[in-house]
Amino acid sequence: MCLVTGPAGRTYEWLNHETWMSLERQRREIGRSLYPDGGATTARATPGEAGDHEALIDRFVAARCDLVVTVGAEAGDATADAARRNPDVDFIGLDQHHDAGLPNLAGLVFPEDRAGFLVGALAASATVTGIVAVVLDSATDPASVGHRTGFANGVAHVDPDVEVLTIAHPGDGTGTGSTSGTETDDETDAEPDAAWGAAAASEALDGGADVVFSPGAGSGLGALVEVAGTGHDARNGALSIGAERDDWIAQRYDIRRSVLTSVRKLPNEYDGQFFVPGRPALLARFEEALDLPADYEDGNAHSTLALIVREFLVGGNPSGTHAGPVGLGWFNSWGAHKAGVPNRTFRPSDDLEAMLADLTGALWRGEVDAS
């Protein structure tokens, strides 16, 4: 099993790391079950630039990999092309939608509207001012649209009276692109960056928001820094919620006083922080959808990615696009570690944590419509 990560590499990007850890766990389990006499092997490579995907995939095919997993939308075309050229090799593309309909190609996506819905439910539960905000890299990019739609619906699911401010970068260098009806005076670059994210978060705070969701790859860090302030002068006692990785761990100390949690994609085996006891039952829907062969129903398939991998390896056909789960990371109950006074101490109640855990499973099973 061979992995071509996204450009940030395994060390610096959550989805790369968790995909690798999932394959490593499967390597050990598959070695004990499917291949008792030989075991399985894994390998990984990281592209240095965009054009590397095709070469890295071809290198793994030449090395006789049975399964090649690639990460990121930028690898989608190269993955589909390699699947056409190598019908005897199986391929899985994470964060990729494929229209090819090839029997040896599967996509695994983590819907942004579901991520936004979870965060919206949390934001509506944590706000004191009754105003929350989302800062987005784009008004039209599908990922940003999904985050925006899910966030608004998640807020309404908990409390329809909470006001949602949406501030999206317009992509044309003309301003903040706020859909809340306000604009800043500063012109911005054509690409959303940390400076624009800070300006957008400042606008949200001006509007009274005390919970700000910043999932943008370009604007996210700037928004987190702006919301954090310096602790004692942070406006509105505001809290922030990140995306893709644990921003409390990954980012600078000066934002830790405001980061409540982060929403993340979960390609790896499920952790108790996301599902309460009884979580294996949550896999039933995907076992049925993937028609997992009876000889591999051994209780070791702990994630959607594992189910897809295993069906490929036992000769099944899990082609098509599958939805993986998203979940909130650990809640940060500071003492504001080495960072002064927290903006506002918010400790989720047991009831709130249980509600969010239930929503996580319900969204994954399709029982709640985030869009």
Q: pLDDT per residue over 323-357, tens digit each?
A: 888 888 878 765 444 455 666 778 888 899 888 88
The pLDDT value recorded for residue 346 is: 83
Tell me the per-residue pLDDT of 237-260, one tens digit each, with 9 for 90 and over: 899 999 876 655 555 666 777 888
**CA dist 72 → 95, 106, 132, 183, 324 (Å):** 5, 13, 30, 33, 14
- Backbone torsions φ then ψ of 238, nearest 5 degrees: -70, 150
> In the chain, what are the domain boundaries?
2-109+267-324, 112-256+327-365
Sheet of 320-323, strand order: 43-45, 2-4, 67-71, 90-94, 105-109, 320-323
Residue range 206-239, pLDDT digits in tens: 999 999 999 988 898 899 889 988 656 678 889 9
What per-residue confidence (pLDDT) applies to 341? 62
- Calculate mean pLDDT across residues 145-174: 91
pLDDT at 26 over 70: yes
DSSP structure class, residue 324: P
**% the chain with pLDDT above 90:** 40
Retrieve residue 351's tokens. 């009831």
Mean pLDDT of the chain: 80
Q: What is the mean pLDDT of residues 142-147?
A: 94
- Specify the higher pLDDT residue, 301 or 281: 301
Residue 264 in this model has a pLDDT that exceeds 50 = yes
Highest mean pLDDT among 55-69, 277-291, 356-370: 55-69
9 pLDDT exceeds 80? no
Backbone angles phi, psi at 222, to 5 degrees: -60, -40
Say whether pLDDT at 199 is over 80. yes
Superfamily of domain 112-256+327-365: Response regulator (3.40.50.2300)
pLDDT of 107 higher than 90: yes
Q: How does pLDDT run across 74-84, given as a tens digit for each residue?
A: 899 999 999 99
* CATH number of 2-109+267-324, picked from 3.30.420.300, 3.40.50.920, 3.40.50.2300, 3.40.190.10: 3.40.50.2300
Instruction: With a cut of 80, say whether residue 273 has pLDDT above it.
Output: no
Q: What is the pTM assigned to this prediction?
A: 0.83
> Is pLDDT larger for residue 160 or for residue 248?
160
- pLDDT tops 70 at residue 368: yes
Q: Percent of the chain at pLDDT above 70?
A: 75
- Average pLDDT of 46-71? 89
The two tokens of residue 232 are: 């004692």
Strand 259-265 versus strand 326-328 pairing type: antiparallel
Q: Which two tokens stand for residue 2?
A: 């061979």
Closest CA relative to residue 159, chosen from 180, 133, 134, 130: 130
Distances (CA, A) of 8 to 30, 135, 204, 227: 28, 23, 30, 26
Q: Are 132 and 165 in contact (CB under 8 A)?
A: yes
Q: Take residue 298 and report the two structure tokens written for it.
A: 């051994």
Residue 263: in which H helix or E strand, if any? Answer: strand 259-265
20: DSSP letter: H
Average pLDDT over every residue of 48-63 = 87
